[in-house]
Structure 1
């Protein structure tokens, strides 16, 4: 069987976990948590990084930092994972869903403009497949309307955006805040795990407090206060040293992992290009301002029935692709209190996008089998 995803060990993951246990501290903010945070701050020039137990937690922290209150409106792409919206809905926000581009799933800045009101407070661009949204356009919109931007960079580690003046910045370093994921389906994994990036120093202290259950315990451990207590909203967002130890071993091998994933991505591209040239499928679009971190490889089928048939065809050969997000504007939770709205591009990707198996240990032989079976499926179409 060729699964959709497979977690992997590449280096010192187990050794570092043992080190963490023997150190006598496996709760959070130990040696490996600090090593991971330092790695990201140095490599990607993130002003401040805080590891979290998940990307969802990082988004929930961002919602608190943005002081979201009932009645505030938050603009989110409809084609995304539920966490992108749920983190803000938990604070009482009204979620305003907008559409993707026609040719790729990222949020369309022109659609954002149409939905801004006097109640809008935050824009949440989601870098789908690790490919940058048009951050220059989005940041300009946010500046014009005095809005927060929270980058949902769950899939976007080691990916960049180039501004019109040639400046190149890592995704996650552009908005006010950013959230990353180290779930086992991501490029760099820790089973679960996430990270909040804070790009404005006036939020550094409060972010630490929110992460530590609303207490100033981090400042206490640094000797900055002589006791700690409950000073703000917060929750238990801090990951254990077990997660951080596994993650740090992966970060040590980031370049190796990325090189392998780029090879896998390029083999899919070459093997399926003829089908795209003949308009059987659509392949991923990488805009000129974006880089490709090879987070996933997807194809877009021509319709829902064709995608269903292709999934069944591949499963007969023990190949397990998956379809992806269901448009949140069609979700049961949203429709409970809202009228159904038409978001056509998002709905199209919901019905037609198919993610192919993609993981570090996917062999060239396995990949060629996947490519061959997809080509065979379309021979009679």
Structure 2
């Protein structure tokens, strides 16, 4: 069976993990955590980055930093993972869902302004499949209405928008290092990206259980104490060591994923010309990171038949999110703004094909072959 995913592993991780295990510090913000954060700050050119146990935790920190209060409203797409919404719901916010664009599956930036009320506090764009949202438009709207922008860039590590790293336009952003992402910190992990200097000092406090411990270790205060709300948002040094090993091979990982992505695209293009499927659209101003490869079929019934065909062929492919506004919790904690023209329709047509760093040429050629066989029978 060709799996849908296999966690990335380069062999470089062993040395760093073992070194961390034998070191004198296993808790958060050890030498490897600091190296990872420095790597990202250099790569992104942002003010500050902080490793977290998950992308969800990074978004929870963002919700606290922008002072989400009960009754506030936060705008985001419904076509996303529940972790985009939960951090804001936990603070008492109401989620306002906006329809997506059918070409990129990202939030439709032209519909955001109509969803804004006097209760709106933030916009949370989600960069689906590592393809950037239209951040120029989103930031113009945010500036006009004095709103915060928190980028859910969970899938967008190594993606670019107008030659700038995704995650550096909003006030705050979050990456994911889950085992399904391009790089991982041992299965789980995340990163908070801070682009607004107002949040740097408080982010460290929130992350350190609400204490000014980081300032103490820098000699800025003579003792540390509880000064704000917070929680334990630090990953272990072993997680950071695993991630550091992957970061040193990030370009190698990216090159392999791009090879697979383009092989899928070129190998299946004939099916597009025959009108049998649709393939991903990448706008000219965006450079994607080959996080995933998906195709779209006619409808949900067709999708079920296709997934079953691949399963029989020994290939595990999957569909993706069930729109949040259709879930029971989505109805309780949010509402859809305007008309659901594309969110439900497009999500029911989408199929994700296997794509992972260790995938062999034989395996992805087998996926292409099985896909063509299915549509030749239709």
Whether TM exceeds 0.5 here: the answer is yes
Whole-Å Cα distance in 1 between the matches of residues 256 and 370 of structure 2? Answer: 22
Question: What is the correspondence of 1:219-368 to structure 2 with a 5 Å cutoff?
Answer: 219-336=215-332, 342-368=339-365
Whole-Å Cα distance in 1 between the matches of residues 83 and 8 of structure 2? Answer: 25
* Gap change, CA 1:177 and 1:340, over 3 Å in 2: closer
Whole-Å Cα distance in 2 between the matches of residues 337 and 19 of structure 1? Answer: 45
Aligned-pair CA distance for 1:338: 6.1
**Aligned Cα RMSD in Å?**
1.2
Whole-Å Cα distance in 2 between the matches of residues 313 and 238 of structure 1? Answer: 43
Aligned-pair CA distance for 1:344: 2.7
Matched, 1:143 2:138: no
Whole-Å Cα distance in 1 between the matches of residues 331 and 196 of structure 2? Answer: 36
Contact 1:71 1:94 in 2 (8 A): yes
* Gap change, CA 1:188 and 1:340, over 3 Å in 2: closer
2:164 corresponds to: 169
Whole-Å Cα distance in 2 between the matches of residues 78 and 244 of structure 1? Answer: 32
Contact 2:131 2:159 in 1 (8 A): yes
Of 202, 216, 222, the residue aligned with 2:198 is 202
Matched, 1:182 2:171: no
* Gap change, CA 1:303 and 1:193, over 3 Å in 2: same
Whole-Å Cα distance in 1 between the matches of residues 102 and 307 of structure 2? Answer: 23
Structure 1 length-normalised TM:
0.97
Aligned residues: 376
Whole-Å Cα distance in 2 between the matches of residues 89 and 215 of structure 1? Answer: 24
Q: Which runs of 4+ in 1 moved over 3 A?
A: 336-342
Matched, 1:376 2:365: no
Whole-Å Cα distance in 2 between the matches of residues 20 and 102 of structure 1? Answer: 45
Whole-Å Cα distance in 1 between the matches of residues 343 and 33 of structure 2? Answer: 37
1:101 corresponds to: 101
SS of residue matched to 1:344: coil
SS of residue matched to 2:156: coil
Whole-Å Cα distance in 1 between the matches of residues 333 and 51 of structure 2? Answer: 34
Whole-Å Cα distance in 1 between the matches of residues 354 and 140 of structure 2? Answer: 37
1:165 corresponds to: none
5+ residue gaps, structure 1: 163-167
2:112 corresponds to: 112
Aligned-pair CA distance for 1:340: 7.6
1:48 corresponds to: 48
SS of residue matched to 1:322: coil
Contact 2:55 2:190 in 1 (8 A): yes
Contact 1:330 1:340 in 2 (8 A): no
Contact 1:113 1:141 in 2 (8 A): yes
5+ residue gaps, structure 2: none
